[in-house]
Amino acid sequence: MKNNINKVYSKLPKNKLELSKKLKLSIASDLEDAYIEYKDFLVDHEVALEILTNSKIAVREAKSQFDYDEDIENELFEKLTNSQNKVSEILGNLETKVGELGFAPSDLFPDYQKLVYDLDKLDELSQKRYSI
């Protein structure tokens, strides 16, 4: 029986370093694969971060432009409303006076129909303005 044990042991590799080297190669290979994946994610993230940064800058610029445009529109709308009130007041006086004289407003102001239409247009603009 001792002979059989010696035969078995004699067939086993005598160099234990081979198993150790294979283990080291396996771990090194796993580490290399993991590191390659990490580097790929690192590059992908840097690109994604650059894209996000550019998008954020574009959004800030768009917001700034929107605020500027909104301020201009608010100022113009206020001027338009004040002008409409002035025109409406004068038009009311004209309609009263020509009515007393028996004339139509268009007899004294040829663009009367267009004026009335344009005054009504402010209501449409107001609705559009608040839907933005």
- Per-residue model confidence as pLDDT tens digits over 114-132: 999 999 998 888 888 888 8
Q: Supply the pLDDT for residue 52.
A: 97
Mean pLDDT of the region 92-98: 93
Q: Which two tokens stand for residue 115?
A: 């004026």
Confidence of residue 27 (pLDDT cuts 50, 70, 90): confident
Q: Which two tokens stand for residue 57?
A: 């800058």
More confident residue, 49 or 29: 49
Confidence of residue 89 (pLDDT cuts 50, 70, 90): very high
For the chain, the average pLDDT equals: 87
Mean pLDDT of the region 51-74: 97
Q: Supply the pLDDT for residue 11.
A: 60
Handedness of CA 118, 122, 123, 128 (dihedral sign): positive
What DSSP letter does each residue of 25-92 carry, written as one string? HHHHHHHHHHHHHHHHHHHHHHHHHHHHHHHHHHHHHHHHHHHHHHHHHHHHHHHHHHHHHHHHHHHH
- Checking if the pLDDT of 66 tops 90, the result is yes
- Checking if the pLDDT of 46 tops 90, the result is yes
How many Cα atoms within 13 Å fall on the side-chain side of residue 99?
Answer: 6
